[in-house]
Amino acid sequence: MEEDVGEDPEMPFGGGGILPCGPHLEAQGVTVTGAPLPPAAATAATAAAAAAATSNNAAAAATAAAAAALDAGAGCAPRGGAGSNSGGSGSGGGGGGGIATAAEVEAAAAVAEAALLADAPAAVGVAMDGGCLGPGAWEDELGGLRLLHDVSGMRLRSELCELAAKGGHLHVLQWLQANNCTSGVTDCCAARGGHLQLVLWAVANDVCSWAEWTCASAAMGGHLGVVQWLRANGCPWDAHTCSEAARMGHLAVLQWARANGCPWDEWTCAYAAQGGHLHILQWARANGCIWGATTCCRAAQGGHLQVLQWARSNGCRWDATPCQEAAVGGHLEVLRWARANGCPWDRFTCSQAANGGHLAVLQWARANGCPWDALTCSKAARYGHLAMLQWARAHGCPWDALTCSEAARRGHLAVLQWARANGCPWDVTTCVYAARSGHVEVLQWARANGCPWDSTNRHLRRY
């Protein structure tokens, strides 16, 4: 039995998870003192903020600022680790007390402020992940977080609640709530991390109310015991519990959920395919789960050829999307097999290859007769793939004004300059996109080189 699939039912906090939590968040962290910041802190924070605000990737820029601070000897180090400071006399010393110096606090403050000013909360997670705001900062009466909030004026973001909930830091959540920082998905994050007591605290204190996504989050984390307790105590669930268990490869959770009446739908098969969990897909199908063309699409998206082959050999239908998804992901082997076995394709296969920057995929597609149009050039321009754009034009791909406006939208001045030098048309949307995205240099160059603009805002509404 097949069924067409609707919109991808993403998690309420972005599907893929919370902020990045790498090994440094699991290791011992740094204890941050309450010493006042030296005057240089403002300079460091301002420089990092400027770098982040003018970058195409604010999180990467903030991270780079942190790396520069670390390289300069102002970085944070794990308590008692090889890089700990002793007496504040520079980094790389021989395992002192691990108390952060004012310079180390500067680095953390600069990264956090840069990230927040640039509206890139992921960079805060990167700073934490890098050890600048590790668990030690949580443990020492929230010293680091309080310092950044009180001294640097750091705005407290809901992502901090989610990060603390996922890590099981109840005292951090209590402090954040007391400082008017809340998140409506705290229970979901805590459930995903397997922290049942924290879920109960969040619900009991009206931080949030549990709902279907609470069970789904616990299923995503593979926490069968949490799912069982939630259900025994009245927490609702829906098909997301099964699909999230399938997405992350938790067969035992899926089996228990189904044995206890949890509904499922075609997304269970689709997510199992996306994650490459063939055994889960096979179990789901053997137990009557519906599927549709999205199963093949998601298998191709994840580059899981074996899953795609099994799905097709067992009657799962497909459309042109597996070729598109294989192309954007650079999965040439999947694309070759799909085409050899009759999968249709269209112009979006080439544009998706350009989107992902996979020149070899685009070249193979064109050599084998795949159609293309101006969208291929505009996608290459939008994502800054100049070599892709140059190859496409050299081989006859059409373009239009969207190539220039997409380059301007993402701040790719070199791409825009090459396009114009080679005769690409432009229109008012080049200036509109540059202005709306804050790329002043691109806007200035465009105007200096005759690009039209419009003082009204009707184009902003149109595009």
pTM of the model: 0.64
**Lowest mean pLDDT segment, chosen from 41-45, 101-105, 308-312, 403-407:** 41-45
So where are the chain's domains?
265-372, 397-462
* More confidently predicted of 414 and 34: 414
Residue 97 has pLDDT above 80, yes or no: no
Region of residue 236 (left: phi > 0; alpha: psi -120 to 50; beta: else): beta
Provide the token pair at 79.
């308590």
Percent pLDDT > 90 in the chain is 48
Decide whether 265-372 matches 397-462 in CATH topology: yes
Give φ, ψ of 382 to 5 degrees.
Answer: -60, -35
Residue 329 has pLDDT above 70, yes or no: yes
pLDDT band at 217 (very low <50, low <70, confident <90, very high): confident
pLDDT at 223: 85
Can you tell me the distance from the alpha carbon of 27 to that of 85, in angstroms, rounded to the nearest whole number?
A: 17
Could you count the other beta carbons within 10 Å of the beta carbon of residue 341? Answer: 12
pLDDT band at 218 (very low <50, low <70, confident <90, very high): confident
Provide the token pair at 355.
């989107």
Tell the CATH superfamily of the 265-372 domain. Ankyrin repeat-containing domain (1.25.40.20)
* More confidently predicted of 116 and 424: 424
CA max distance for the chain: 69
Provide the token pair at 85.
């400071």
End-to-end CA distance of the chain: 41
Place of tokens 């520069």: 68
**Spatial contact of 299 and 274, defined as CB atoms under 8 Å apart:** yes
Q: Which residues contact 224 (CB under 8 A, 6 or more apart)?
A: 250, 252, 253, 256
167 burial via Cβ count (<10 Å: 0-12, 13-18, 19+): buried
pLDDT at 41: 36
CATH 1.25.40.20 fits 397-462, yes or no: yes
pLDDT at 225: 87
Residue 247 has pLDDT above 50, yes or no: yes
Residue 176 has pLDDT above 50, yes or no: yes
Residue 328 has pLDDT above 70, yes or no: yes
pLDDT tens per residue, range 132-166:
344 343 333 343 444 344 333 344 455 555 566 55
Place of tokens 């007390």: 97
* More confidently predicted of 173 and 92: 173
- The size of the chain, in residues, is 463
pLDDT tens per residue, range 397-432:
999 999 999 999 999 999 999 999 999 999 999 999
pLDDT tens per residue, range 350-372:
999 999 999 999 999 999 999 99
